[in-house]
Chains A and B, each alone.
Chain A
Amino acid sequence: MLKRTRSMPRLLGLVTLALLGGALAAPKKVTGYGSLGITDGKPGGTYTLVLGDSPQSLNYYGVIDNNLGLIAQQLFDGLVEFNYATYKVEPALAESWTISPDGKVYTFKLRQGVKWSDGQTFDADDVVFTYDQIIMNPEARAGDAASFKLDGKQVDVKKVDANTVQFVLPRPSPAFLLQMRSFIMPKHKLLKFSQEGGAKPADINNAWPSNVAAAEVVGTGPFKLGSYTAGQKVTLVKNPNYWKVDGKGTKLPYLNGLDFLIIRDPQAQVAQFLAGNVDQLNISGAQFPDLKQREVSGAPFKVMRSTALFGSPPFVAYNFDAKDAALAKVFSDARFRRAMQSALNRPRIIDAVYNGLASLPGHGVAPVNKEWYTNTTKQLGTFDLKAAAAALDALGLRDTNGDGVREISRGKNLEFDLTYATDSSVYPAIATILQNDFGKIGVKVNLRGILAKNLLSTGQSGNWEMILHAFGDQPDPELRKPIWQPGGALYYWHRSLQPAKDGDRPNVARMAPWEKEIYTIFDDAATTTDRSKRKALYTRWQLLFAQNLPVTPIAKPENIGAISNKYGNYIYNLGVIPGYNPVPLIYQK
């Protein structure tokens, strides 16, 4: 009913208001997911999920912590959220919105009658407080101040009336609406930790530590905090004030309780799932056959494959700024990277590492993302060691001394380190396959295993030669700009492009022509409001990516979830994606 808000927001806003006829309580009706197998459920029951570790705090903006994120998305909501099926933005705490013709003023009409879980009324003050005092506070550890500064100028947020909030942007930003998924916090509970309430800017991080009294943690989400037992379990209970209903008007969530068991070890998670103590678990391709076999032979759960948009496709990158000048020169050469792509046995990796449960990757955009994806399969080429060897020969990288390894210069072998994560179920096997195949064409690779936790910081330090890593896919390329725009904060394979200070102009002079083009594309797309123009820009970017391989994507793993037969309405849920929370629809059969 509330779809396609984005294309005609103003009209729809009016229609919505008219339809509701001024009624005070305006719950959101969640319908139209028949294609995902969603039916009307019945209230009751408890559902148990796993957390990979204890939450470090209960203040979503105080720590960057994935485990807290999983809990927080059940406790809080943003102004807007994703459609489960189309990933389009639709109303949440905001009932409707308008965007000024110049694309700079966003006005949100808030849903009326929404109450915090402690019974207080939710209104514009909470929204303004959350954005102004927390999210835009640069000292809030998990705030997002940078996204609310455009061209060095602050986004202005103000209350129009009790149910209307307005954001004024210094320049148009077509992806701004996606930022509005940020969770809104209760002003009446957090004021004393904010500058407005007289505290220091950094004090907001100290709110709601993990040993806080449960009644203090107040949200608008489907659940509220019941209790937290350190290192063991987080218990959430139904929020009776939640603002969503199903097609029949039954209040959501269906569940009475939602438990998170804290289980760090992936094997232990599987054990608890098999024992029936955990009701839903996301698993890897390596685990799929075992669990699917159990399902086929009558175990009380289902294992489901899905090609969800989110998820992290691994890639290999070569360091354009490698410490060894000869290597840096070779790595910067797109011909070398293309040659090495021919020695990348994607079908074998998909078969041996993912058990066949992965597909060919896109370039920066997931193939399932219909809105932005451009088919680049042809540029992936095929696995062909002879062609790879010939291409390396053509580059002058030959084995002249007969030791089986090509020389990069006289007397110096083409030999480099591959940095990968040892504590992962897929990276070690991929690294070993690469090492083996590269060795066959006279390229010597030494494996350098580190902990997954240190991968990115190692990448950013520049202290590596070849790396195996992954970044998550997002619905809009704009959200991944720091990764894929040359000179971006996470574009670490060509680190010498990064500006000395965040927000400054990157070192454009050092960019290769194709990097310059990509750089301009991202800058243009960030201010272009016209959809088809953006689409054209991003299409060009994906082709440049596929051609020049700043990084070489390997495969796009399928997402696999296992769910107990006791529950209905399961939709695959990767983890922490603010604005994408299908749990309220789950019901116990």
Chain B
Amino acid sequence: MLTYTLRRILGMIPTLLVISAVCFAVIKLQPGSFTDQYLEDPRFTRETAAAISRQLGLDQPALVQYGRWLWGVVTRLDFGYSFLQNRPVVSVIGDLLGWTVFLSLITLLFSWLVAVPLGLYTAFNRHGWPASIANFLGYVGLAIPDFLAALLLVALVLQLGGTNVGGLFSPAYIDAPWSWAKVADLLGHLWIPVLALGLEGVAGLMRQMRASTLDVLTQDYIRTARAKGLPQHRVIWRHAVRNAINPLISLAGLSLPSLISGTIIVSIVLSLPTIGPLLYDSLLNKDQYTALTLLMLSAFLLLVGNLLADLALAWADPRVRYA
């Protein structure tokens, strides 16, 4: 197991290299240059544009730009410079990383805690009306795009006279020191993004959990376990759930990168201080090193997620073994 893990980690390096090269190429594929966006400003002349390009190294061939970035990363862990913000990319991302991880984990936790029990419930009680309601709500979650859900939630809060219609805090608390009141204020705001972001995931996970539980329940080992006279809850937890959760684990591994890209639209609609909008901006504005670093972060999270998922798979399902 340990050697397997080590081998996988070493194997990430070439994969990340390939991904970084591909990402850089795709970023460069977009026509135009970083300085284009400023042309509308009367203060901005071609002379200034040329000076900036020189200063940022944009007058060099793309291969040289990529090589320099890579060299910086490998030798100094320097992920380059944000053209837009005139400071290192790492510090730009660092500003937003905390909230991004926090929000994503909360959302992930929310959708799993709601979806897995509901999925199990609807699998074991297929025909009752509570299951039908749960299913129906799941469909609603699926059919409403997350940004419309956010908008409708905000409209609802407004209608009820609330003021927590976006962001993570009331304006007064944003730059206040931490206190219980601030935590309470945070909780008052948090539920909207968590619902808007988590709803879609809940529906998907719940339906998949239900389906795979139903599959597992018909397998021979469950029958054997039942026949052996094991108590019902033991059958369920030891055998059914552990097996049914297999495909969901693979999915969970894939969901780590959505920390970054999955929240773009909802973050914009709900004014959340996460990384998603930064990725969008850096791509649109051709702030190439910021974009590249974020894409690499996303790729790295994906690889880690995949590895964790594979390890978890081996734990949950003893039949999966690694040579």
B231 at the interface (CB under 8 A from A): no
* With known contacts A57-B86, A145-B47, A209-B85, A271–B158 Cβ distance under 8 A: yes
Closest Cβ of chain A to B134, distance in Å, is: 30
Chain A residue at smallest Cβ distance from B31 = A461
Residues on A with C-beta less than 8 A from B157 are: 275
**Does B95 lie within 8 Å of A231, measured CB to CB?**
yes
Residues on B with C-beta less than 8 A from A57 are: 85-87
A401 at the interface (CB under 8 A from B): no
**Does B87 lie within 8 Å of A272, measured CB to CB?**
no
A158 at the interface (CB under 8 A from B): no
Bound: A460/B99 CA distance, A? 39
Bound: A146/B43 CA distance, A? 7
Pick from A63, A64, A231, A259: contact of B96, CB under 8 Å: A231
Residues on B with C-beta less than 8 A from A138 are: 45, 47-48, 51
Residues on A with C-beta less than 8 A from B281 are: 53
- Which residues of chain B from 228 to 271 have a CB within 8 Å of any chain A CB? 268-271
- Which residues of chain B from 39 to 91 have a CB within 8 Å of any chain A CB? 39-48, 51-52, 55, 84-87, 91
Bound: A277/B163 CA distance, A? 7
A205 at the interface (CB under 8 A from B): yes
Chain B 11-50 per-residue mask, 1 if CB under 8 angstroms from chain A, else 0: 0000000000000000000011000111111111111100
Residues on B with C-beta less than 8 A from A233 are: 171, 174-175
Pick from A206, A226, A457: contact of B36, CB under 8 Å: A457
**Does A264 lie within 8 Å of B43, measured CB to CB?**
no
Residues on A with C-beta less than 8 A from B164 are: 275
Residues on B with C-beta less than 8 A from A229 are: 174-175, 273
B168 at the interface (CB under 8 A from A): yes
A147 at the interface (CB under 8 A from B): yes
**Does B45 lie within 8 Å of A263, measured CB to CB?**
no
Residues on A with C-beta less than 8 A from B174 are: 229, 232-233, 261
Pick from A56, A205, A264, A482: contact of B268, CB under 8 Å: A264
**Does B165 lie within 8 Å of A262, measured CB to CB?**
no
A375 at the interface (CB under 8 A from B): no
Chain A residue at smallest Cβ distance from B45 = A146
Chain B residue at smallest Cβ distance from A146 = B45
**Does B42 lie within 8 Å of A482, measured CB to CB?**
yes
B141 at the interface (CB under 8 A from A): no
Residues on B with C-beta less than 8 A from A142 are: 41, 43-44
A48 at the interface (CB under 8 A from B): yes
Residues on A with C-beta less than 8 A from B285 are: 453
Bound: A454/B39 CA distance, A? 11
Residues on A with C-beta less than 8 A from B311 are: none
Closest Cβ of chain A to B79, distance in Å, is: 16
**Does B85 lie within 8 Å of A271, measured CB to CB?**
no
Bound: A232/B42 CA distance, A? 30
Residues on B with C-beta less than 8 A from A502 are: 45-47
B170 at the interface (CB under 8 A from A): yes
Closest Cβ of chain A to B298, distance in Å, is: 19
* With known contacts A202-B51, A202-B55, A267–B269 Cβ distance under 8 A: yes
Bound: A471/B151 CA distance, A? 31
**Does A264 lie within 8 Å of B271, measured CB to CB?**
yes
**Does A456 lie within 8 Å of B39, measured CB to CB?**
yes
Bound: A63/B273 CA distance, A? 21
Closest Cβ of chain A to B230, distance in Å, is: 53
Pick from B44, B169, B273, B284: contact of A453, CB under 8 Å: B284
**Does A145 lie within 8 Å of B40, measured CB to CB?**
no
* With known contacts A229-B174, A274-B158, A461-B32, A64–B87 Cβ distance under 8 A: no
Bound: A268/B166 CA distance, A? 7
A247 at the interface (CB under 8 A from B): no
Question: How big is the A interface, by class?
Answer: 35 or more
Residues on B with C-beta less than 8 A from A265 are: 268-269, 271
Chain B residue at smallest Cβ distance from A259 = B171
Pick from B95, B162, B269: contact of A268, CB under 8 Å: B269
Bound: A149/B277 CA distance, A? 39
Report the interface size for chain B: residues with CB under 8 A from the other chain.
54
B206 at the interface (CB under 8 A from A): no
Bound: A454/B30 CA distance, A? 11
Most A CB contacts (10 A, CB to CB) among B38, B271, B273 go to B271
Chain A residue at smallest Cβ distance from B281 = A53
A40 at the interface (CB under 8 A from B): no
Chain A residue at smallest Cβ distance from B41 = A64
Closest Cβ of chain B to A194, distance in Å, is: 15
Bound: A489/B46 CA distance, A? 9
Pick from B51, B165, B274: contact of A275, CB under 8 Å: B165
- Which residues of chain A from 252 to 269 have a CB within 8 Å of any chain B CB? 259, 261-265, 267-268
A62 at the interface (CB under 8 A from B): yes
A276 at the interface (CB under 8 A from B): yes
Bound: A146/B45 CA distance, A? 7
**Does A139 lie within 8 Å of B165, measured CB to CB?**
no
A144 at the interface (CB under 8 A from B): yes
Bound: A454/B31 CA distance, A? 10
Most A CB contacts (10 A, CB to CB) among B85, B163, B272 go to B85
B167 at the interface (CB under 8 A from A): yes
Closest Cβ of chain B to A141, distance in Å, is: 6
A213 at the interface (CB under 8 A from B): no
Chain B residue at smallest Cβ distance from A278 = B171
**Does B84 lie within 8 Å of A56, measured CB to CB?**
yes
Closest Cβ of chain B to A489, distance in Å, is: 7
Closest Cβ of chain B to A44, distance in Å, is: 16
Chain A residue at smallest Cβ distance from B36 = A457
B123 at the interface (CB under 8 A from A): no
- Which residues of chain A from 571 to 585 have a CB within 8 Å of any chain B CB? none
**Does B170 lie within 8 Å of A277, measured CB to CB?**
yes
**Does B171 lie within 8 Å of A48, measured CB to CB?**
yes
* With known contacts A57-B86, A211-B87, A268–B48 Cβ distance under 8 A: no
Closest Cβ of chain A to B119, distance in Å, is: 33
Most A CB contacts (10 A, CB to CB) among B39, B48, B175 go to B48
A227 at the interface (CB under 8 A from B): yes
Closest Cβ of chain B to A176, distance in Å, is: 14
Residues on A with C-beta less than 8 A from B95 are: 211, 230-231
Closest Cβ of chain A to B58, distance in Å, is: 13
B108 at the interface (CB under 8 A from A): no
* With known contacts A62-B86, A139-B48, A265-B269, A453–B43 Cβ distance under 8 A: no
B217 at the interface (CB under 8 A from A): no
Bound: A145/B86 CA distance, A? 20
Chain A 34-70 per-residue mask, 1 if CB under 8 angstroms from chain B, else 0: 0000000000000010000100110100111000000
Measured CB to CB, the residues of B under 8 A from A are 31-32, 36-48, 51-52, 55, 84-87, 91, 95-96, 99, 151, 154-155, 157-158, 162-171, 174-175, 268-274, 277, 281, 284-285
29 residue pairs A–B, Cβ–Cβ below 8 Å: A53-B281, A64-B44, A138-B45, A140-B48, A144-B43, A146-B47, A205-B55, A206-B86, A211-B91, A229-B174, A229-B175, A230-B273, A232-B167, A233-B175, A262-B273, A264-B268, A264-B271, A265-B269, A268-B271, A275-B163, A275-B164, A277-B171, A453-B284, A454-B32, A454-B36, A456-B39, A457-B39, A489-B45, A502-B45
Which 3 pairs across A and B sit closest by C-beta, in order of nearness?
A231-B273, A230-B95, A457-B36
Measured CB to CB, the residues of A under 8 A from B are 48, 53, 56-57, 59, 62-64, 138-147, 202, 205-206, 209-211, 226-227, 229-233, 235, 259, 261-265, 267-268, 271-272, 274-277, 451, 453-454, 456-457, 460-461, 471, 479, 482, 489-490, 501-502
16 more A-B residue pairs beyond the given contacts A261-B171, A263-B166, with a C-beta to C-beta distance below 8 A: A56-B84, A63-B85, A64-B41, A142-B41, A142-B44, A210-B85, A210-B87, A231-B273, A233-B171, A262-B273, A268-B165, A272-B165, A272-B167, A275-B157, A461-B32, A471-B40
